[in-house]
Amino acid sequence: SQQGEEDPQALSIQEGENATMNCSYKTSINNLQWYRQNSGRGLVHLILIRSNEREKHSGRLRVTLDTSKKSSSLLITASRAADTASYFCATRNSGGSNYKLTFGKGTLLTVNP
Amino acid sequence: DTAVSQTPKYLVTQMGNDKSIKCEQNLGHDTMYWYKQDSKKFLKIMFSYNNKELIINETVPNRFSPKSPDKAHLNLHINSLELGDSAVYFCASSHIAGVNTGELFFGEGSRLTVL
């Protein structure tokens, strides 16, 4: 079954604007990860946030995690055309198999120059 | 050097044929995966091996058979291909060291088209 659900499904912005993508999930997690996928390419890991963390930064990326609401957000600041890609959240659930990483359906971000 | 490499990148074949996709990682990871991405970009895990042992086997038709000859390699063999098998298949690897680690490193994908 689907764990993460990204919102919105598609987002189109102008270069320089900020982009916010949200992810909701259903079960308890050990960590939540965000990945980027450029068209026709494999997924690339962006950032991992543990269940006991609330916020994490990496360059122009800011991720928040609210375990009470079972949701996370990815903020990309000062977007660039090169940020155009699909972004996926993925959860590693607590309990059960620690090896399984379950992906959401993704948000397609288009950054217009 | 490519960290996770999979071959072939493109595969076009007829229904009923058997095909294989190979994957190799040079990251020294102990866990490898196969994911299937459909036309709507939904990624679904199929299999996972840890140190050559099958640890995840999702609801996948038994026409799909993974094989891990060693922990750096994970191959996927598909028998009697069907139209619905058309997708992009991704190999990935990770290092599992406790519950709070395990980012995945993905290959570039193998696009399978069944005619």
- Using left for φ > 0, alpha for ψ between -120 and 50, and beta otherwise, residue A106 falls in left
Say if CB A49 and CB A65 are below 8 A apart.
yes
- The DSSP bridge partners found for residue B6 are B23
Is the CB of residue B106 less than 8 Å away from at least one CB of chain A?
yes
Is the CB of residue A9 less than 8 Å away from at least one CB of chain B?
no
pLDDT in tens, B35-47: 999 999 999 999 9
pLDDT in tens, A28-87: 888 999 999 999 999 999 999 999 999 999 999 999 999 999 999 999 999 999 999 999
CA distance B65 to A65: 37
Cβ contacts of B53 on chain A, cutoff 8 Å? none
Cβ contacts of A101 on chain B, cutoff 8 Å? 33, 45, 94, 102, 104
Question: For every one of its 115 residues, what pLDDT tens digit does chain B have, with 9 covering 90 and above?
Answer: 679 999 999 999 999 999 999 999 999 998 999 999 999 999 999 998 988 888 888 878 999 999 999 999 999 999 999 999 999 999 999 987 555 557 899 999 999 999 9
CB within 8 Å: A99 and B55: yes
Give pLDDT, residue B102: 76
B88 φ/ψ angles, rounded to the nearest 5 degrees: -105, 125
CA distance B55 to B48: 6
- The DSSP bridge partners found for residue B13 are B114
- The DSSP bridge partners found for residue A71 are A24, A66
CA distance A92 to A87: 17
Is the CB of residue A42 less than 8 Å away from at least one CB of chain B?
yes
pLDDT in tens, A96-110: 666 688 899 899 999
Cβ contacts of A43 on chain B, cutoff 8 Å? 43, 90, 92, 104, 106
> How distant is the Cα of A99 from the closest Cα of chain B, in angstroms?
7
3-state secondary structure of B102: coil
